[in-house]
Structure 1
Amino acid sequence: MKKQDKFPCLERETTLGDKVVSYIIRKSRKAKNVRIVVREGTGLEVVIPETYPVNNIEALLHKKAKWIQNKLKQMEENAALTKTVQDEALTVIRYLGKEYPIVLILDNSLPIRVELSEDKALLTLPRNEEDVIRRVIDAWYRWAAKSFLSERTNFWAQKMGVSYQTIYIRNQKTRWGSCSIKNNLSFNMRIIMAPLEVVDYIIIHELAHLKEMNHSKRFWRVVEEFCPDYKKCLAWLKKFGPGLTL
Structure 2
Amino acid sequence: MIPLSVARTDSRQTLALSVHPSGEVSVVAPKGERLTRIIEMVNGKRAWIIKQQEHFRQLHRSWPRRFVSGESYYYLGRQFRLKVTRIGSQSACSNARMRGGRLQITVPAYVASTKESDFIRQRMVTWYWERASTHLSVLSNRFCQMLGVEASEVVIRNFSQRWGSANQNGRLAFNWRIVMAPRPLIDYVAAHEACHLIHNDHSADFWRLLERIMPDYESRRLQLAIDGAKFQL
Shorter-chain-normalised TM-score: which range?
0.5 to 0.7
Corresponding residue for 2:176?
A: 189
8 A Cα contact 2:133 2:156, kept in partner: yes
Q: Deviations over 1:94-145 (max 9, x none)?
A: 2110111011233335411222235221222325621211111122122221
Unaligned runs of 5+ residues in structure 1 are 1-80
8 A Cα contact 2:67 2:117, kept in partner: no
- What letter is aligned with 1:176? W
Q: Are 1:95 and 2:84 counterparts? A: no
Corresponding residue for 2:122?
A: 135
Aligned with residue 206 of structure 1, among 193, 216, 222: 193
Secondary structure of residue in 2 paired with 1:85: coil
Aligned with residue 163 of structure 1, among 139, 150, 172: 150
- What letter is aligned with 2:141? N
- What letter is aligned with 1:141? Y
Q: Which moved more, 1:201-210 or 1:103-112?
A: 103-112
- What letter is aligned with 2:94? I
Counterpart CA distance in 1 for 2:134 and 2:157 is 13
Aligned with residue 224 of structure 2, among 214, 234, 237: 237
Aligned with residue 227 of structure 1, among 211, 214, 219: 214
Q: Deviations over 1:39-72 (max 9, x none)?
A: xxxxxxxxxxxxxxxxxxxxxxxxxxxxxxxxxx
- What letter is aligned with 1:106? R
Q: 1:110 to 1:88 in 2, by over 3 A?
A: closer
Q: Deviations over 1:72-105 (max 9, x none)?
A: xxxxxxxxx9996122797233211011101123
Q: Deviations over 1:163-208 (max 9, x none)?
A: 0111221111111111111111111111111110000000100101
Counterpart CA distance in 2 for 1:89 and 1:212 is 44
- What letter is aligned with 2:64? V
Counterpart CA distance in 1 for 2:93 and 2:154 is 28
Counterpart CA distance in 2 for 1:244 and 1:88 is 15
Q: 1:82 to 1:206 in 2, by over 3 A?
A: closer
Aligned with residue 119 of structure 1, among 80, 84, 101: 101
- When the two structures are superposed, what TM-score results if normalisation uses the length of structure 2? 0.64
Unaligned runs of 5+ residues in structure 2 are 1-59
- What letter is aligned with 1:114? A
- What letter is aligned with 2:133? K
Q: Percent identity?
A: 31
Counterpart CA distance in 2 for 1:83 and 1:217 is 38
Give the length in aligned residue pairs.
Answer: 166
Secondary structure of residue in 2 paired with 1:140: helix
Task: From the CA coordinates, give the structure whose radius of gyration is larger.
Answer: 1
Q: Are 1:85 and 2:72 counterparts? A: no
Distance apart, 1:146 and its partner CA: 1.6
8 A Cα contact 1:193 1:244, kept in partner: yes
Greater RCO (Cα-Cα under 8 Å, separation 6 or more):
2
